Structure 1
């Protein structure tokens, strides 16, 4: 039996609501991992707390939350369950994408349920054939987190561009029109259920497609002038970095608590872990790395929100730095986790250990392609030196 979710989060801010769910999510985390999907108890709790509607436009009963709120929410959720945090972040990003659609399509998605989850992948895959006033999609789209809980799925695809180069688009497709293949058998983040979507001649009208170029050029901001402007990929992916920060922060608390309760040091020099200078220095480094990750992430979220509210797209040099902020935060969180395991010891790798699960989760999450430190460094270095970068709406 799962833990009963709270009845309501009425009167709480989204961050407070997320914090209130930490014990429940932690209690459900083992079952979530075993099922390789969020438990119904977890999904119900997220829904009741309003955390699946963070990115839903306010006009349709959503939070219309900015990146900073989403970042802070996902950090709190990750203290209980990394997969729940990641899925909430995916729902936020999916809603931001879908909010670019025309109002009749947005009404179809959210009129009856502002908690409707939109998941998906921006990576172009499959084939797209022009059919009337739309596209017919076929192919496979792997690693779509939360697809078991999402009535709608975003599928990235490439189409011929006016200048000869392919253009990147996304299609919003009813998940019921797709086959979901059970392919997510991974070391970490198992509860995200990031399976593969298969489309077989699925028609999508133009009204349910989103152009990366149009989004970068602010076309959709003009369609919905009262709503924040989206900066891909930063607006979408910053909450996913917060999952890693939350994992590191929760793990730091666990290791510090064990030391405070008198964990013995397996050393001939010191009786307790708390007395050993090596562990004191190690924990200081881990805490500083976690703080560094949080500071970089929050700076990036605050700057993105400022631009989003003003309807601006950050300049290229700033986008490069903000992308570096996100990748650096992710790497710092992972490095902090490694130091914490040095102090926690080999016992942390035992089956059933919460620290072992945290280690597997952060090692998996930090390899997300959009958050690659190497790619972000190259982009940032080129921007700093004024070297050319391709005219790509993703950059």
Structure 2
């Protein structure tokens, strides 16, 4: 199903919904194995759900941010680790589409190609004239074991002799995988370490990160597409908001699934749904999730609208966007925590999805891009008339 035929957004959403039972059924074993289930990965690939940001000329969908968010929310509601990994591969495809067109020919020659990403420049490189020799390692590389390529980040010599971060496309076969992934949350993402030792990367497969962050992309054929003329950080954020929304929806659904017949232990309430405390808890959680969706779809709509119009983002808009991201993450985490607390002692069993959702949203909120306090500080600087304290806007 991942061929060249144009597939509607409705059809892609239906495919995600159809795969949800399979994804859900493999969630516990995937967590125990610390990597995604092979059958799930193959099914998502066959359904074309790794092609949301693959360029159309290679059989991709070039999905809008709104459609992408809804599809990723559906996958993430079935299992957050699967949704997170799919989001990472979606962002990886978008990043690959900013490289020179002939480089894309090589990368996208693989059907349902999966490109993992490491944005921290934790490696060093020397310049050979026609490329770079890279040494170093990268941490938290989600989906590495099921990926074909990785976008690595390394410090390398700039034209003026200083050092700057450079992104490079590298086949996974050229990298060393060190499985140190043993975590409380997002366990099934298999976010292992990868490393390079005296790895040669041709110049054509490198892009200076400061240029990428300023939308100075190397692709000519993608330049007219609304999907590929948006800033990297708002684009990346749009890829992750569906993961948060999916976790919130899953927690609310799980709470309601277990509500019938449940009592409030050591009280006179033989039916939890009749207890006023339950009404307060579920109402507050549901409203927090409703607010989170407002921020999420506002971010996605803004990205789509400005991409379609070819409008540049101001620094203040970028800082505000990060603030919205922090707020929606905070709201989802608070809602999940409230629903988990209201779910009683039985919800902590390893077979119960609620406890995994709770751990996964905590892991999500600790990510550097998602962390609420970091994002609030950045937006607060804009509100106080100050510039950003980061280039990742």
Aligned to 1:354: 353
* Residue 28 (structure 1) aligns with: 26
1:43 equivalent among 38, 41, 44: 41
What residue number does 1:175 align with?
Answer: 172
1:309, 1:37 → 2: CA distance? 37
Map of 1:91 onto structure 2: 89
Specify the alignment match of 1:282 in structure 2: 281
Secondary structure at 1:79 match in 2: helix
Question: Secondary structure of 2:78's match?
Answer: coil
CA contact (8 A) 1:286 1:340 kept: yes
Aligned to 1:118: 115
Q: Counterparts in 2 of 1:297-336, with a 5 A limit?
A: 297-336=296-335
1:318 deviates by 0.9
Alignment of 1:68-107 (within 5 A): 68-107=66-105
Secondary structure in structure 1 of the residue aligned to 2:277: helix
Query: Is residue 218 from structure 1 mapped to residue 212 from structure 2 by the alignment?
Result: no
Instruction: Calculate the TM-score normalised by the size of structure 2.
Output: 0.93
Alpha-carbon offset, residue 162 of structure 1: 5.2
Stretches of structure 2 that go unaligned for 5 or more consecutive residues are 1-5
1:144 aligns with 141
Over residues 110-157 of structure 1, what are the superposed CA-to-partner deviations in whole Å (9 max), with x where a residue is unaligned?
Answer: 1342x1011111111111111122111111101100011111001112
1:234 aligns with 2:231: no
* Residues 332-343 of structure 1: pairs in structure 2 closer than 5 A: 332-343=331-342
The answer to whether the 8 Å contact 2:98/2:219 transfers is: no
Total equivalences in the alignment: 385
SS at match of 1:235: helix
Contact map agreement 2:101 2:219 (CA 8 A) in 1: no
Write the deviation string for residues 66-106 of structure 1: whole angstroms up to 9, x where unpaired.
22222111111011111110111001100111000111110
**What residue is the counterpart of 2:246 in the other structure?**
246
1:283-337 C-alpha deviation (Å, 9 max, x unpaired): 0011011111111011101101212223333111111111111111111111101
Q: CA deviation at 1:267?
A: 4.3
What are the within-5 Å matches in structure 2 for residues 42-61 of structure 1? 42-61=40-59
2:33 and 2:188 in contact (8 A); partners too: yes
Q: Is the 8 A contact 1:215 1:230 kept in 2?
A: no
Q: Where does the alignment leave 5 or more consecutive residues of structure 1 unmatched?
A: 1-8
CA contact (8 A) 1:120 1:155 kept: yes
2:64 & 2:198 partners in 1: Cα distance?
36
Contact 1:46 1:52 in 2 (8 A): yes
CA RMSD after TM alignment: 2.0
Q: Report the 3-state secondary structure (helix = DSSP H, G, I; strand = E; otherwise coil) of the residue aligned with 1:239.
A: helix
